[in-house]
Amino acid sequence: MSIEARIHRWIRPDIIDLEPYHVPDARGMTKLDAMENPYTWPRELRDLWLQRLAETPLNRYPDAAANELRTSLASWCHLNSAGEVLLGNGSDELIQILALALGGTRRTILAPEPTFVMYRLAAKYTGTDYVGVSSSDALAPDLEALLQAIETHKPSCVFLAHPNNPTGGMIETQTVEAVVAATDGLVVVDEAYHAFCGHSYANLLPKYDNLVVMRTFSKLGLAGLRLGFLIGPREWLGVLDRIRLPYNINALTQASALFALEHMAWFEERALDICVERAALSQRLSELPGVELFPSAANFLLFRVGHGCAGAVFDGLCKKKVLIKNLHGTHASLVDCLRVTIGTAEQNGVFFNALKEQLAAD
């Protein structure tokens, strides 16, 4: 039997049919495609961090429960105890844990679309039905359609991204509370970009026993750590913790995250800098002929170019060594749409000038 035949015999057909998640080569580019924080640490902060890492023993396994880190996170999030925090190797692992625990045959994961692609992928990985509910023409969640879909499909898990990726839009309180009230399963509010919007639904956690909030360190400027966390009722998190792989948060990540929490003021200041740059770039894009800009409360901007032009604009920017995200073809609502991450003032200027030049050429 050939290796190809053996693979096709034993690997699930739905896994074989999956396309690998593609990460483009960004070497030599002005990289504005992945919602990364553009700011690096100042020298004095980096030296203190390196000293902390040097004191971290690497011959021992990390604290499997990451008790010190969870306790610090609980304090930062104004929670009562570390039992209300579950850590993941990035939010992606937490999404996978949720899909493993709540998904499976004859189970449904539901989300308004367009939204973060990992919700759909995690459903596929776990053999779970996925229902994407189309948003309104303004790319905002359609509450009536959501409630109808919840009644019809009775999802075990609903994901609500706030602000949403890739649109940058926020979800109204009325929508969140109505969805939580209508759902028998678990509702996950994904607040990956909460540092840039000044709003959180964590205040609703005491009110609802089927709500959790998910956040990440990535957008604050620590994407390389791969650290995400869920906050919510300890009863839910205790069950989810049973399928978390042991030692999933390595010792260097735990030490780095604890260090970051001690110096969170610096990271919060950089988030404010990004908001300032977002406003400046939004103003410039809104005045650019041929560009339709969507409002954003995240660290990126979604915009639409002329009919059939997204591919040419994207390719043209790549030739100018500027990498953004081409969303055309990913969802019916995103025809001719592109997404740019907010960078430094210099990076944003490079992008804007390249875009202006490319649009003039087209």
More confident residue, 14 or 170: 170
pLDDT greater than 90 at residue 19: no
pLDDT greater than 80 at residue 2: yes
pLDDT band at 21 (very low <50, low <70, confident <90, very high): confident
Q: What's the rounded mean pLDDT across residues 281-305?
A: 97
Q: What's the rounded mean pLDDT across residues 252-271?
A: 97
Mean pLDDT over each residue of the chain, to the nearest integer: 96
Q: What's the rounded mean pLDDT across residues 134-144?
A: 88
Note the pLDDT of residue 136: 79
DSSP conformation letters of 94-138: HHHHHHHHH-STT-EEEEEES--HHHHHHHHHTT-EEEEEE--TT
pLDDT greater than 90 at residue 162: yes
Note the pLDDT of residue 222: 94
pLDDT greater than 80 at residue 138: no
For 343, counting Cβ atoms within 10 Å of its Cβ (0-12 exposed, 13-18 middle, 19+ buried), the class is buried
More confident residue, 328 or 135: 328
Strand partners, 157: 109, 186
Rounded percentage of the chain residues whose pLDDT exceeds 70 = 100
More confident residue, 27 or 50: 50
H-state helical runs in the chain: 3-10, 13-16, 43-54, 67-76, 91-102, 117-125, 143-153, 173-182, 234-240, 251-262, 264-286, 310-319, 345-361
pLDDT greater than 80 at residue 116: yes
Q: What's the rounded mean pLDDT across residues 27-33?
A: 94
C-alpha–C-alpha distance, residues 7 and 224, integer Å: 33
More confident residue, 297 or 20: 297
The one-character DSSP state at 332 is: G
pLDDT greater than 80 at residue 199: yes
Q: Residues 303-339: pLDDT tens digits?
A: 999 998 999 999 999 999 999 999 999 999 999 999 9
Q: What's the rounded mean pLDDT across residues 1-20?
A: 90
Kindly report the backbone phi and psi dihedral angles of residue 221, in degrees, each rounded to the nearest multiple of 5, phi listed first. Answer: 120, 15
Note the pLDDT of residue 181: 98
Q: What's the rounded mean pLDDT across residues 53-64?
A: 97
pLDDT greater than 90 at residue 286: yes
pLDDT greater than 90 at residue 47: yes
Could you give the maximum distance between any two Cα atoms of the chain, in Å?
A: 63
Q: What's the rounded mean pLDDT across residues 128-146?
A: 92
Q: Residues 98-108: pLDDT tens digits?
A: 999 999 999 99
Note the pLDDT of residue 317: 97
Going along the chain from its start, the domains and CATH numbers come out as 3-42+265-361 (3.90.1150.10), 59-263 (3.40.640.10)
Note the pLDDT of residue 344: 98
Indicate if the alpha-carbon torsion angle 12, 14, 19, 20 is positive or negative. Answer: negative
pLDDT greater than 90 at residue 261: yes
